[in-house]
Amino acid sequence: MTESNLEILQSSGLFKEAPASTLLTDILLTLLPFALIILILYFIFVRQLRNAGRGAMNFGKSKARMLTREREKVTFKDVAGCEEAKEEVAEVVEFLKDPKKFQRIGGRIPKGCLLVGPPGTGKTLIARAVAGEADVPFFSISGSDFVEMFVGVGAARVRDMFEQGRKHAPCIIFVDEIDAVGRQRGAGLGGGNDEREQTLNSLLVEMDGFDGHEGVIIMAATNRPDVLDSALLRPGRFDRQVVIDLPDLSGRESILKVHAKKIQLDETVDLHLVARNTPGFSGADLANLLNESALLAARYGKNRVGRADIEEARDKISYGRERRRLMDEEDKRMTAYHEAGHALVQALIDDGHLPLHKVTIIPRGRALGLTMMLPKKDILGMSRRHLLNQICCAMAGRIGEELETGDFSNGAAGDIKQATKLARHMVCDWGMSDLGPVAFGDNQEQLFLAKEITRTQNYSEDTAKRIDQAITRIINEQYQRAKEIVDAHREALRKIADALLQHETIEGVHVHEIIEFGEIRSPIVRAQPVSDEKDDDDSGVKKSAQPKSSKASDEETAPGVAPVPA
C-alpha cells in the first residue's frame, strides 16, 4: 500500500485511534478504592454501635427486660422447699396489692430484698413468683449488664432502669448476680474512679437518695453476700435479707412432687424415699435427677421411670457415670482390696451416722472405684468422734492394699488429701485437739488482691510446728486404728474383695452379711448397664453432702471418703 492510499484511509475516519482513557474513568478508578474502604468501615462501626447499645443515642439505656403478664406466670404454688423464704417475701406481695394497708398505720415496706443462698436453690424463681402473685410489671437484669468498658455507661443504665421503674410503678426490679456490680469498694490496688465503682455509687444513690422511688421494689440475688459493699446492705437499701438454703427432707419431697408432674413415674416409686436418699441436693439438682431418670428409662426402652432408674441417675449425678474402662486383673485386684478396706472399716466402726450404701470397682467419674455412704438424715454438724471415724475409714483403703499385696499404689491420694483436710480443720478451726479451743490461721475467704498482699501470719513459728505435729498425730493414730481393724478381719476383707471381683458392685447389706455370717445371703441384683456412648463427656462429679471414697491414679484423683459438712 502506498503512502497516498494510507493517507486517504486515515482521513476517511475508518481507522481512527480511540484514546486509552478519559478524565471520568481516571477519576472513578482513583476514588473507587477509597469509597469501598469508607463504606466497609461505616458498616462495621454502625453494627458495633447497634450491638453495644442499640444505637449511638441509646448506648446508656438500661438492658432490663420486662416480663409481660401474658407469658407463663409463676406463682408460689410452683415454688416448693423454702416455706420460710416465701413467708418473708409475702409481705412484699401484700404491699404491692394493697399499699394503703401498711401506710395507714405508718408502716413502710422494705425498699430492697436480697435473696441469699447457694446456687440452684430457687432465688430467681422466688422473685418471679412474687411478680406473678402481685400481678405487677417485673423487670429482670443481670449485674454484669451494667458494667461496660466505657466509664459512666453503667451509671447511666442504672438511672435509666430506675426511671423505667417509676413509669411502671408499682413494679419489681430484679437484679440477678448483684455481686458483679456490688462488690466492696476500695478492695483493689487502684483508685475509686473506675467504671464498676461509679456504677455502684449510682445504684446506692438511686436506692436511697434525695429522690425516692415509691412503688419500686428492688429484689436481688447472690450466692456471695460476703463480698458485697456494706453500704449496699444497710437499712434503707436492702433492708431485708432472705436466706434460701438447701431444702430439708420435707422440702425435697415437695420439690420432687412439683417436678414429678411432668414425669411418668412407676407406681413403685416412693418420692419420700427418694427425698431421704438425696441429702444435700438443691432444687435444681432434684429437677435434674428426675430428668436424668427419664432419659435413662427411655434409653432402656421403658414407658415409665422406675426406682432403679432414679437410683442410677442419683449415682451418676453424685459420683459420675459408669465407665467401662479396660483394666487388667492386677488393677482390678488392687482396686477391689482398696475398696474392701474402706467398706470393712466403715461397716465396723459406724454407729448409724453414715451407713454403708454401696461398694463398686466400676470406674465412675475420675475414680476407679467407690465406697458410697448414704446419710440417714441431713448432716448439719459432726462430732469429734464422727470426724475421727471418717479419717479412719479414709486410711483403710491404703491399708487394704498393703496387707494383701505387700505394696500400695498412689490410688489413695484423694483419701489422704481429704483426711489431712479434716484433721487440719479439727486442729485449726474447730478446737478438737490438745492445743485447745483456739482458732489458728486467717480467713481464707478474702480473695481481694490488696488484702492478700498485706496478710500476715497471726501465730508464731513454734505454734505452727505444734499445729503440724497435732495434725500428723491425728492421721497416724487413725491409720494405726484402721490397720488393727483390717488386720483383725483379714478373712472378711478377702471375701469382700472376692465378691467385688466377681460381681463388681455389692450393697452395704452384703458387706454386713460377710462380716456376720462369712458369706453373702441376700440376692445381688445388677441393673442393666448403660450404653457406653460418649462416656468421656459424662464424667462430672457433684459436690454434695453425700460422702464418697475413691481409688484413683495421680491423673485421676477423686474426692475422699467424706466431705466437710457445711
Catalytic machinery residues: 339
> Exposed, middle or buried, 382 (CB in 10 Å: 0-12/13-18/19+)?
middle
User: What CA–CA distance (Å, rounded) separates 308 from 526?
Assistant: 10
Q: Which of 291, 290, 285, 361 is nearest to 323 (CA)?
A: 361
CB 527, CB 306: distance < 8 Å? no
The set of residues, in sequence order, having a beta carbon less than 8 Å from that of 129 and lying 6+ positions away, is: 74, 75, 76, 78, 79, 86
User: What CA–CA distance (Å, rounded) separates 134 from 99?
Assistant: 12
The set of residues, in sequence order, having a beta carbon less than 8 Å from that of 78 and lying 6+ positions away, is: 125, 129, 258
User: What CA–CA distance (Å, rounded) separates 413 from 9?
Assistant: 103
For residue 362, the 8-state DSSP code is S
CB 506, CB 500: distance < 8 Å? yes
**Residue found under cell 398505720:** 105
In three-state secondary structure terms, 368 is: coil
Q: Which of 199, 208, 164, 167 is nearest to 181 (CA)?
A: 199
In three-state secondary structure terms, 228 is: strand
- Please state the three-class secondary structure of 519-557 as a single string: CCCCCCCCCCCCCCCCHHHCCCCCCCCCCECCCCCCCCC
- Cis peptide before 137, with omega less than 30 degrees from 0? no
Radius of gyration of the chain (CA): 34
Backbone phi, psi, residue 182, to 5°: -105, 20
Range 266-270 contact pairs with CB under 8 angstroms and sequence separation of 24 or more:
266/304, 266/305, 266/306, 266/307, 268/306, 268/307, 269/305, 269/306, 269/307, 269/310, 270/307
DSSP-H helix ranges across 241-349: 249-259, 271-276, 283-299, 307-319, 329-349
DSSP E strand boundaries for 163-237:
171-176, 216-222
CA angle 177/235/162 to nearest 5° reads: 55
DSSP E strand boundaries for 110-195:
112-116, 138-142, 171-176
For residue 241, the 8-state DSSP code is E
